[in-house]
Amino acid sequence: MKMKKIFKKEVVIGLSALVALVILFFGINWLKGVNIFRPSNNYYVSYANIDGLTANNAVMSNGFKVGEVSEITYDYEHPGLIKVELSLDKRMRLPEGTKAVLTPGLIGSPSIVLKLGEGPGTLSPGATLEPVSEPSMLESAASTLKPAAQSILPKIDTLLTNINRITGDSALLSSVRRLDQITADLQRTTGNLAAITAQVQPAVRNLNQVSGNAVTISDNLAQFSGSLNEMPLDTIVANLEETTANLRLLSEELNNPNSSLGLLMHDPALYNNLNSTVLSMDSLLLDIKANPKRYINIKVF
């Protein structure tokens, strides 16, 4: 009875260990990305340099993952080559001429891209694929830029030589000194302009005042013009024309010796007679003052 219990205990321990090993096996393969329940076919390809390719890296076709790298070993039968085993989905058919392109990753590890061939038949599992290695982005950029850099380097050397020649020229140094002097003159000119601006500001205020006065004068002229428009200018002009005509007639009468006014102005006899008459009247008045009784007879009743 005791032996049965010991045997039973050992069986339980053994089964538990077996289950743990199975779980460990499946767990490790699951972490590696290997699905042991999915049937697969293995193919092989050899590269001279795998550029950091590791097991479990993806195998892609048309951007879709169709398998993974299952194992990487050194090909001792062909020194200098590294043999890579590809585990592909069993449903994947590879036409003849299919190439395995090792594509470097931009940041992560590289991957293998299947470039399907155009052959009539298909490759059987275990076949060896034709290897193709694409250059990395740095290598592509270096190969592209190297010819351009080689053509630019002589030009850069010539440019640096010309720059050294120009910077060492004494004329350039004298031009820089002249620029310093010009800058100093501009600073003085700016100060003078500021002073002139301060002096001009009162004049500007006076101009503003004059402008206000001009506006007032303009308003007064407008009012005066309105008053002129309201005045009977036609009547005034007609009166002035009539007065001018009368003055012209008077002037003609005075200048004409045959007219009455002309005789008064031009006849000396008339002038002498008037003069003698005035003298006679003056003598008469004097005599009346001296002898009033002679001319005034007053009778008293």
For 250-275, how does the pLDDT look when each residue is reduced to its tens digit (9 = 90+)? 777 767 767 666 666 666 776 677 77
- Domain of residue 244: give its range: 232-286
- My answer on whether 133 and 185 are in the same domain is no
In a domain, 69, yes or no: yes
- My answer on whether 125 and 79 are in the same domain is yes
- Please count the other Cβ atoms lying within 10 Å of the Cβ belonging to residue 268: 7
Residue with more model confidence, 59 or 181:
59
Are the C-beta atoms of residues 41 and 92 closer than 8 Å to each other? Answer: yes
Give me the pLDDT at residue 136, please. Answer: 62
Judged by phi (left if over 0) then psi (alpha if -120 to 50, else beta), residue 93 lies in beta
* DSSP secondary structure, 69-110, as one string: EEEEEE-TTSTT-EEEEEEEETT---BTT-EEEEE--SSS--
Task: Give the model confidence (pLDDT) of 2-52 as tens digits.
Answer: 555 665 677 677 777 777 776 775 566 555 545 554 567 899 999 999 888
**pLDDT above 70 covers what percent of the chain?**
71
- Please count the other Cβ atoms lying within 10 Å of the Cβ belonging to residue 207: 12
- Please count the other Cβ atoms lying within 10 Å of the Cβ belonging to residue 129: 22
In a domain, 256, yes or no: yes
Q: How many domains does the chain have?
A: 4
Question: What is the average pLDDT across 281-300?
Answer: 73
Domain's final residue, options 224, 258, 277: 224
Give me the pLDDT at residue 102, please. Answer: 92
- Please count the other Cβ atoms lying within 10 Å of the Cβ belonging to residue 228: 9
Question: What is the average pLDDT across 102-106?
Answer: 80
- My answer on whether 83 and 111 are in the same domain is yes
Instruction: Of 156-170, 181-195, 280-294, give the lowest mean pLDDT range.
Output: 156-170
What mean pLDDT, rounded, does the chain reach?
Answer: 77
